[in-house]
Amino acid sequence: MKKTAIYCIILTIIAITACSSPKKVKSDNDTAAQESSQTSQNNNTDKMTKVLLKTTFGDIIIALYDYTPEHKANFEKLVRNHFYDGLLFHRIIKGFMIQGGDPNSKTAKAGQHLGNGDVGYTIPAEFVPARYHKRGAVAAAREGDQVNPQKASSGCQFYIVDGTVYDNDKMSMIAQRTGKTFTPEQIQAYTTVGGAPWLDGDYTVFGEVIEGMDVVDKIASQQKDGSDRPVEDIKIISASILR
């Protein structure tokens, strides 16, 4: 089984960031715009299924989208079966994402290469244009296009977007390099809240973090090895459905 991860991104990241480093310093107006954007994106989550991830760095609460029913049902099933309890966030990239859900990580030795574990099945892609890779998005990892042209999702591995804020020039560059078209709403989000816009339409986004992004930031900032695995294990202590 080839490594289940987020493919076709490293060259894009290098090409974009090589031109100039994304600026994260915001004015008061930028901060206000970000807070407004976050509020507008989270104000419909009250009736959504929520999952609590208790980690060694704190709690993260995820809301699951009804727009992606197969991914939602699968994630709920795994949570109810305690599948994620004791697994690691085995891959972290600050300003990009944190990834977990590899069953092999539960008993992994220090320094062991992770990312190949699965549950023996995939989930058909459920791309919803209105659900994109903004900061805090929860999406399914998958194998690369060469072996997975249907872009089917891993049955268990997922990632949470830590994200970077891009200016309009960088958004135009990403659009040119990827051939993607971004809506005004997406551009507003990526230039205020941030995210990983080049992944849109290639990986299924099935939820979002509604509490605990400070925990995501903390996890993404930890020391890691050459495979992006944290040097100190970062564990999902438990995952549970909130009522």
Smallest Cα–Cα separation from 210: which of 102, 49, 72, 56?
49
Question: How big is the CA angle at 120 (ends 119 and 122), to the nearest 5 degrees?
Answer: 90
Question: Which amino acid makes up residue 127?
Answer: F
- Amino acid 45: pLDDT: 75
Computed from CA positions of residues 178, 7, 63, 48, in that sequence, does the dihedral angle turn out positive or negative? positive
Task: Indicate the pLDDT class of residue 29, thresholds 50, 70 and 90.
Answer: very low
The whole-chain average pLDDT of the chain stands at 87
For 22-36, 51-65, 184-198, 208-222, which range has the lowest pLDDT when averaged over its residues?
Answer: 22-36
Instruction: Residue 113: count other Cβ atoms within 10 Å of its Cβ.
Output: 13
CA 165 – CA 75 distance, rounded (Å)? 28
Question: What is the mean pLDDT of the segment spanning 190-216?
Answer: 98
Task: Indicate the pLDDT class of residue 46, thresholds 50, 70 and 90.
Answer: confident
Higher pLDDT pick, 43 / 16: 43
Q: Is the pLDDT of residue 71 over 80?
A: yes
- Amino acid 44: pLDDT: 74
User: Can you list the pairs that 182-190 forms with residues at least 24 positions away whose Cβ atoms lie under 8 Å?
Assistant: 183/129, 185/130, 186/132, 186/134, 188/33, 188/37, 189/37, 189/41, 189/132, 189/134, 189/135, 190/134, 190/165, 190/166
Q: Is the pLDDT of residue 64 over 50?
A: yes
- Amino acid 6: pLDDT: 55
For 31-35, 75-79, 123-127, 140-144, which range has the lowest pLDDT when averaged over its residues?
Answer: 31-35
pLDDT tens figures, 133-172: 999 999 999 999 999 999 999 999 999 999 999 999 999 9
Provide the CATH number for the domain formed by 48-106+119-242 in this structure. Answer: 2.40.100.10
- Amino acid 38: pLDDT: 44
CA 2 – CA 93 distance, rounded (Å)? 20
Q: Is the pLDDT of residue 178 over 50?
A: yes
Smallest Cα–Cα separation from 98: which of 107, 87, 108?
87
pLDDT tens figures, 93-129: 999 999 999 999 999 999 999 999 999 999 999 999 9
Share of the chain above pLDDT 90, in %: 80
Q: Is the pLDDT of residue 196 over 90?
A: yes
Instruction: Residue 135: count other Cβ atoms within 10 Å of its Cβ.
Output: 27
Task: Indicate the pLDDT class of residue 5, thresholds 50, 70 and 90.
Answer: low
